[in-house]
Amino acid sequence: ETEQASASGRRKLAEALASSGFELLDLEADGTAYSTCRGLGYPDLDALYAAVTTGDMPPDDVAAALLAH
């Protein structure tokens, strides 16, 4: 269930970023996604993506944090 929540949240975040012309994979590869998730108080990307799924962190808010990093 946690894996499904993480995968779903990752897709939602990727869609939010794509509308701004950014690729989540690139932000994961260069460390931006991880450092942003830690800055938002999440222990890892799976926890952040799961929070996007549950609505605790709206994807647009996470996208804005990633792009501001």
pLDDT at 58 > cutoff 90: yes
pLDDT of residue 1: 79
User: What integer is the mean pLDDT of 19-44?
Assistant: 96
pLDDT at residue 60 above 90?
yes
Helices 2-18 and 59-68: crossing angle in degrees, nearest 10, is 60
Residue 69 clears pLDDT 90, i.e. is over it: no
Per-residue confidence (pLDDT) for residue 9, from 0 to 100: 97
Residue 2: per-residue pLDDT: 82
Q: Rounded mean pLDDT of 64-68?
A: 95
17: which 2 tokens? Answer: 């970023």
